[in-house]
Homo-oligomer: A and B are copies of this chain.
Amino acid sequence: MSVPQRVAGREGPGGKAETILAAAERAFLARGFGAVSMDAIAREASVSKATVYAHFTSKEELFGAVIAHVSERRFGGFSAEALDPVDIAASLTTIATRFLDLVLAPEVIALNRIIIGEVTRFPVLAQVFWTAGPERMREQLEAFFRRAGAAGTLVIPDPRQAAEQFAALARGEIHLRGLFRVEEPTDSTVLSVAAANAVATFLRAFQA
């Protein structure tokens, strides 16, 4: 399967294609690829199955469109550019909190699950997600650590490695727990504590 591609002509929001995409998004994120039928999507979008096929040539293509759409929407806004590398503890706490808030969001966890589960069948979709998500976030972190190294607030011999380790500490065990559904959706106190722990350990290892 290649990169998702609409079949019908241009169409504004509120059109059938949007409705179908939104219905497919809900269904796939909630139940996965295999457990969702085109019938179910058509039903949820209140259109006929033939109409679904008029807009998307196959179930695989519709799936690809959903993945690309959600990835872009969720990760597009993540940035560390506005943060001050001098006030390092506060900035790291902010960024860790934003990071966790994003990667632990139920929708993002669901997206992770579905892509990981189908990576054998749809390797390109995993690439799309990876580039839009983890890679983009790592680049943002990396740029921040480069600035912090230059400002002398942190000792950063390898910005990329620092970014990876910071992200790893932030994810900690809690991210895996989310993927394996070992606990309820994470509340904000747990999230704050996790962020603070990650920052504390990271600072002990990298502070000037």
| Binary B-proximity of A152-191 (CB < 8 A = 1, otherwise 0) | 0000000001001101110111001001111000000000
Q: Does A77 contact B (CB under 8 A)?
A: no
CB atoms of B35 and A121 under 8 A apart: yes
| Number of residues of chain A lying within 8 A (CB) of chain B | 44
Which of B30, B127, B129, B172 is the one whose CB lies under 8 Å from A168? B172
CA distance A138 to B173 in the complex (A): 10
CB atoms of A182 and B127 under 8 A apart: yes
Given A204-B204, A205-B205, answer yes or no on A179-B119 (Cβ-Cβ < 8 Å). yes
CB atoms of B161 and A197 under 8 A apart: yes
Chain A residues near B (Cβ < 8 Å): 30-35, 112-121, 123, 126-127, 129-130, 134, 138, 161, 164-165, 167-169, 171-173, 176, 179-182, 197-198, 201-202, 204-206
